[in-house]
Amino acid sequence: MFTGIIEEVGAIQALRFISEGAVIGISGRIVPPSLKIGDSVSVNGVCLTATQTGQQSFSCDISAETLRLSSFKQAKQGAKVNLERSLMIGDRLGGHFVQGHVDGVGMLVSKTRSGEGWELSFEFPRELERYLVYKGSIAVNGISLTISLLGKGSFSIAVIPHTLEATNLNQLGIGDPVNLEVDVLGKYFERFFQLGLIHGEKSTKMTIEYLKNQGF
C-alpha cells in the first residue's frame, strides 16, 4: 500500500526483456539504500518487489501481466520514474490509498500554463470512466492527484510547481503514456452492488430501475 506522495525521481538504469516479462534496474539516492530484498516499492505507480538491492540502485522482476497492463512495455533505459516506498503504520497519509495495481494506461494530450502551475489533460481507457469522479482522487504514474475537470474520454489535473518539480510529470511530452490507478473505493462500491450486497444482506442488484426508485 502506498500514498501517492513521491519520495524521489529515479532513473531506469537497465531494462532487459526476458520471455514474456522483464527485469528492470532503477537508480536513486533516497529509496535504494533503505530497501531490502522482498520489499515492495512503487515504480511509476506499479507495485514491484525488490529482488536485488544496493546503496544506489535496486532491481525488480516484471511479470508478463504487469508488462501488458502498464507503460513498462514502452519504457526505455534512462527514463525518469517516480519512486515511493510502501506505507508504514503510523505514517501520515498525505495523498490517498494507492495499491500500485495499474488499471490502465493513459496518454498526455495537453499541457497548458495555469497561474504559477500547469493543467495537464490525459486520455484514459473507456472502461475506467465509471470510476472517475470530479474532484475525486486518481494516481498518475503513482502520484496522488485530484481530477479538476472530467470530460468524455479525458480528465485534467491542476499541478502546482512543487509537484511538477518533485515528480516525472515535468518529463512528459504530448502522446507519452502514463500508468493510471483509480480510487479503490469506487471498485469496491461497484462490486457490492454487482453482488447485491447492502448492509451485509442480499438486496436488489443495481439497475436503472433500482436507482430511479432510490431517487437518482
Contact (Cβ atoms closer than 8 angstroms) between residue 141 and residue 44 = yes
- Render pLDDT for 3-13 as a digit per residue (tens, 0 to 9): 999 999 999 99
pTM: 0.87
Tens digits of per-residue pLDDT, 123-176? 999 999 999 999 999 999 999 999 999 999 999 999 999 999 999 999 999 999
List of domains in the chain: 8-85 (2.40.30.20), 104-188 (2.40.30.20)
Task: Give 1's DSSP letter.
Answer: -
Exposed/middle/buried for residue 209 (C-beta within 10 Å: 0-12, 13-18, 19+): exposed
Please enumerate in sequence order all residues whose Cβ is within 8 A of that of 186, keeping only pairs 6 or more positions apart, or say none: 130, 131, 133, 136
Amino acid letter for position 70: S
